[in-house]
A and B are shown apart, each in its own frame.
Chain A
Amino acid sequence: MTQSLIHARNLTKKFGDFTAVNGIDFDVVKGESFGLLGPNGAGKSTAMRMIGATSQRTSGDLTILDKDPENFGPQIRAHLGVVPQQDNLDTHLTVTENLYIYGRYFGLSRKFVKGKIEELLTFAQLEEKRNAKVESLSGGMKRRLTIARALVSEPEILMLDEPTTGLDPQARHILWDRLFRLKEDGVTLLITTHFMDEAEQLCDRLVVMDKGSIMAEGSPAQLIKDYSTKEVLEVRFGSERNAQMAEDLRQLCDRIEELPDRILMYTEDGEELLERVYKKDFHPKTSLVRRSSLEDVFLRLTGRTLID
């Protein structure tokens, strides 16, 4: 039987009149990589802070490692590794010192932490920066250090809030690689992101959130299967003609999404559909056939794109 490490039912958080998280249900089991996908302001970070046992829920049920965070905050936090959206490293201290003091916050012995630091420096590819002050690190290095710091206590659950926001593509790929390795080691990951590629890369299972509610839940492949077609044909006619062409294109496939700069046509076979577009004498300026992604799922569920 699989053990549910995080269990949320009707979880709600209100700030005055504003409902940031509106009655969400989900379970995260041991060893899985679970994602909260949604645009900025969907309530992901608020949900993370409740799970992180630092912010109390307004109503609903929540248990983490079978404990209620309302009464057992420190006991729960003892087994979490938290990577917040903004790096909050101690900028006065060096790379090594940051790892050291964090280990001490978990009550780990000096000897254990010293051994652990070597391992984490290797993991985060920061061996050469061990004595550097945090201020001098690049964005990607700071991010890796924040992740390494969260691992100092060998947490049962690693929580990452928007882990690659603000990083360049190369830094993102290095980071994804590190997270993959953790996943292979059986660390349970809880990730929020508004990048659909990140969710597809890292998550075994995810929920799509919008405006504080869960819109859908499943594996990336299952969500794409349930809410989209196998392939997507993207065509561009130029911004002034897109709207008019969308009407004409509707006769060629079941579902069309019209975006300001392009038209998305949902189909099982993109090349075949493109041939039919040309046969009808429609001549798009550019065309692209691709596989469906979580972006399409989100568009289907909310009528909006993830990054506005």
Chain B
Amino acid sequence: MSQLHQRQGSLKIVDATKVAARGALFVTEARLRAMLKWIWLIISLAIANPVLYLVSIGLGVGAYIDKNTGGMGVDGVSYITFLAPALLATAAIQGAIDESVYPTLEGFKWDKTFFSMNATPISGNHIAMGVFFNSLIRVAFTAVIYWFVMLAFGVLESPRAWMAIFTAIMAGAAFGALMQALAGLLENENIFFTVLNRFVIMPLFLFSGTFYPLTNMPIFLQWIGWISPLWHATELGRWLTYGHEISSLMLYVHFIFLNSLLIIGVIASRRIFTRRLGK
């Protein structure tokens, strides 16, 4: 107890200006510490996911497809080369969902840790950005590992293939930010995960030109791809990894679309978090 007599007092030791400037990093630091508790799961997932998909569908289904296309492959390359960039973007998006939706529901509802953060000089904006940065770190980690597995499978043909890491991160960040904002609105998560998985994630995975070119779809289903961050990221990924042909106009469209979603998601998250904490 004697130590407490040497209190200096918060007026001397706490600097609210410092927190205003760096609060998001403090939240990121805390989230990272929590994430380290399941780092082995994250690492295992990051490695197993690409290996399993690329072996089973890339090589397995690919052998069948490549045989039947008379050596032409899909989009001028072997099936696994065509498929891999789409799976890379999918993994990035899945990682982003894990690190944005769950922490948000936990913070507002399950553990209410956001409210304990907000009792300090930390504000809603800091919390929203901290969760976002943490999800970005997870996405980057997942994408880099995925990229090296792709390298091992020999599916990276273009010298600029390394840039596909960044387009995948961009897609993950955009989707994660939107999901974070949405999770911030949820008062009741009962059916949320069911709806999210069955009516959002699955259709996007299946209808974003992941397994075959989007143009193979009837036109009335192609719109799913157009609004899907996954399709835009996949197109960019294919362009970067093996030189899939894209007009320069479409390059801009993909890039602007993904970044617009990212900006909208981040701004919405900040507003939603701040409003909900101040209720």
Residues of A whose CB lies within 8 Å of any CB of B are 52, 54-56, 73-75, 77-80, 82, 84, 86, 88-93, 97, 101-102, 104-108, 112, 119, 122-123, 149, 153-156, 181-182, 185-187
Contacts and interface: CB of A to CB of B under 8 A. Distances in A.
Contact of A84 (B26, B37, B119): B119
A97 B33 contact: yes
Nearest to A181: B1
A181 B29 CA distance: 33
A102 B19 CA distance: 12
Interface string B14-36: 11101110110011011001100
Contacts of A90: 30, 34, 111, 113, 116
Contacts of B11: 79, 156
Nearest to A115: B3
B71 interface: no
B18 A107 contact: yes
Interface residues of B, number: 40
B34 to A, nearest CB: 4
A107 B14 contact: yes
Contacts of B111: 88-91
B278 A56 contact: yes
A183 B46 CA distance: 52
Contacts of A105: 19, 23, 26-27, 30, 117, 120-122
Prevailing SS type, chain B contact patch: helix
A54 B115 CA distance: 9
Nearest to B21: A107
Given A54-B119, A55-B279, A78-B19, A153 B37 contact: no
A133 to B, nearest CB: 9
Q: Which of B30, B117, B118, B119 has the most CB of A within 10 A?
A: B119
Contacts of B117: 105
B115 A75 contact: no
Nearest to A15: B279
Contact of A92 (B19, B27, B37): B37
Contact of A74 (B9, B19, B278): B19
Nearest to A73: B123
B10 interface: yes
Contacts of A153: 10, 13-14, 120
A106 B14 contact: yes
Contacts of B7: 154, 185-187
B16 A74 contact: yes
A88 B119 CA distance: 11
A300 B146 CA distance: 71
15 contacts: A74-B20, A77-B119, A79-B11, A84-B115, A84-B116, A88-B111, A88-B113, A101-B29, A105-B26, A105-B117, A153-B10, A154-B9, A156-B9, A181-B4, A185-B4
B226 to A, nearest CB: 39
Interface string B62-103: 000000000000000000000000000000000000000000
B278 A78 contact: no
A181 B113 CA distance: 28
Which 5 A-B pairs give the minimum distances between C-beta atoms? A82-B119, A105-B120, A101-B30, A92-B34, A78-B16
Contact of A106 (B19, B113, B277): B19
A107 B9 contact: no
Contacts of A52: 119
Contact of A185 (B5, B16, B277): B5
Contacts of B4: 119, 123, 181-182, 185
Contact of A79 (B14, B118, B277): B14
A107 B19 contact: yes
Contact of A154 (B13, B37, B121): B13
Interface in B96-150: 111-113, 115-123
B119 A112 contact: no
B10 A86 contact: no
Contacts of A54: 115, 118-119, 277-278
A85 B225 CA distance: 48
A155 B1 CA distance: 16
A33 to B, nearest CB: 16
Contacts of A108: 13-14
Nearest to A150: B119
A217 to B, nearest CB: 26
Given A54-B118, A56-B278, 13 more contacts: A74-B19, A84-B116, A88-B113, A89-B116, A91-B111, A93-B37, A101-B26, A104-B26, A107-B15, A112-B13, A119-B4, A123-B1, A154-B10
Contacts of A55: 278-279
B131 to A, nearest CB: 13
B190 interface: no
B37 A88 contact: no
B119 A104 contact: no
A74 B123 contact: yes
Contacts of B9: 154, 156
B18 to A, nearest CB: 4
B116 A88 contact: yes
A79 B115 CA distance: 16
